[in-house]
Structure 1
Amino acid sequence: MFPIMLENMDESNIFLVGGGHVAYHKVLNLHRFGIHPTIISPEFHPSFEKLEQQGTVTLITKEAEWEDVENAFLTLLVTDDEAVNDRLAKLLKEAGKLVVHASNPTLGTAQIPAVMTRGKLIVSVSTSGASPSLAKKIRTEIAETYDERYEDYLDFLADVRHYVKLYVADRAERRTWLKEAIEPIYLHNTEERQTFLNELQQIFPSEQLIQ
């Protein structure tokens, strides 16, 4: 199994097959990352109506067929009909598509891990389908360690890295500044962050843009 992070998924062709309670929660997870999927099912959980009114999903009321998903970038199969899930998974896999089979991951080509986010920080945990419950437990433990403070802290680190890349020419000096920025004091103290940035900008003025 090869872990990978995918960007610009909001612009991709994402399909979800299934309209029940499990499918609804899968959609909410997709929404966390700006993904507005097309959902195919002969029936839908009542909660889907509100999502459709909000314009965050496209609902197609029918039994899913190969022709519906053949051009999808990623398809999630979460119906309660295992025959449908298995058949579509087989076809999508043979076509080289990304497909998640929720109840039998080995039949798919991709899995969605348990995810913890803190702003720019994204940590995913997978047990390769062995125990989703354990993956969620580990995710919770990680979330307790990397709490809400990391959201602003990652913004600070991003600002430092951006400035250093633009205005610090010497690579050794770059590494020194970037290493200093991850010291615990800057996680805990916002005033120290500002002092750090002020010193960086004073030593390497923005007028000295690296050519």
Structure 2
Amino acid sequence: MNGYYPVVLQLRGQKIVVIGGGGVAERKVIGLLEAGADDVRIVSPEVTERLAGLAEEGKLRIELRGYKESDASGAWLLFAASGNREVNAAVVADGKRCGALVNAADLHDEGDFLAPSVIRRGDLLLSVTTAGASPSLAAAIKKELEAQYGESYIEAVDRLRRLRTLVMNSEIDRVAKQAILKLAALEAAEAAKSDASAADSGEKVEGSDHEWLNSLLRRIGITGGLHNEGNS
């Protein structure tokens, strides 16, 4: 057992410090920005062209210098990605002393968390890691997931979120709500897989959200539906 527990973190408003400015640091930073991080700081004597460009766009801050112990102070997440094992070890030790959660690019066993391979499809987030045992296997599985869960899942998950809001704000009883949301999830997943499977399913996910809800109600045996007051 590797002792890791998977979580999904809310990064907005949190101070995140990345020590390093090379390719590894760039990959970490891109993932952080894609996740909505809005207070990312990089400390490194040199940075990649892409990181420099992101700083010019105001998406992060860069301090072009070597690492200092004080850089770990106040960080919520701290990434040791300098490419130098001695520096990374110092970052890990300082981060733990300051109460930061630390990710170490080349010292997996000494850090507090791993940054898995991630696939984003709107609000759908898929991740995979081998806890450092085989990054190549993680990459291969990620490639399979990217092919299996395409861009169509962006709209599917977005629509399911809207439908959930509509259902939870209705006067439908709890058992019926659960049945509706389960059926909707299955239907949206089938529709996302391919247009053909959606057409063959007998009930296509089409029309307004309100119309979809009424269709779902009929299929679980509730007649009459919900009155549409102009909002879907």
Same fold by TM-score greater than 0.5: yes
- Counting aligned pairs with the same residue, the percent is 30
1:157-183 Cα shifts (integer Å, max 9, x gaps): 111111110003311111121122123
Task: Report 1:40-55 matches (<5 A).
Answer: 40-55=43-58
Q: Which among 12, 15, 19 is matched to residue 13 of structure 1? A: 15
Q: Which among 12, 25, 31 is matched to residue 27 of structure 2? A: 25
Q: Which among 45, 60, 67 is matched to residue 57 of structure 1? A: 60
Asked if the contact 1:20/1:79 (under 8 Å) is kept, the reply is yes
SS in 2 for 1:123: strand
SS in 2 for 1:26: helix
Task: Report 1:74-85 matches (<5 A).
Answer: 74-85=77-88
Which is worse superposed, 181-190 or 49-58?
A: 181-190
Residues in 1 aligned to 2:42 and 2:115: alpha-carbon distance in whole angstroms: 17
TM-score, normalised by the number of residues in structure 1: 0.88
1:86-145 Cα shifts (integer Å, max 9, x gaps): 012022124432110011111111110000111110011111111122112111111211
Residues in 1 aligned to 2:151 and 2:50: alpha-carbon distance in whole angstroms: 30
1:203 matched to 2:206: no
Asked if the contact 2:21/2:47 (under 8 Å) is kept, the reply is yes
Residues in 2 aligned to 1:179 and 1:206: alpha-carbon distance in whole angstroms: 22
Q: Please, which runs of 5 or more residues in structure 1 have no aligned partner?
A: none
Matched length: 206
Q: CA RMSD in A?
A: 2.1
Q: Please, which runs of 5 or more residues in structure 2 have no aligned partner?
A: 218-223
The residue that corresponds to 2:205 in the other structure is 192
Residues in 2 aligned to 1:121 and 1:46: alpha-carbon distance in whole angstroms: 30
Asked if the contact 2:103/2:114 (under 8 Å) is kept, the reply is yes
SS in 1 for 2:115: coil
TM-score, normalised by the number of residues in structure 2: 0.80
SS in 1 for 2:205: helix
1:151 matched to 2:164: no
Shift of residue 155, structure 1, vs aligned partner = 1.3
Q: Name the CA shift for 1:95/1:181 in 2 (closer, same or farther; >3 Å).
A: same
Q: Name the CA shift for 1:171/1:47 in 2 (closer, same or farther; >3 Å).
A: closer
Task: Report 1:162-177 matches (<5 A).
Answer: 162-177=165-180
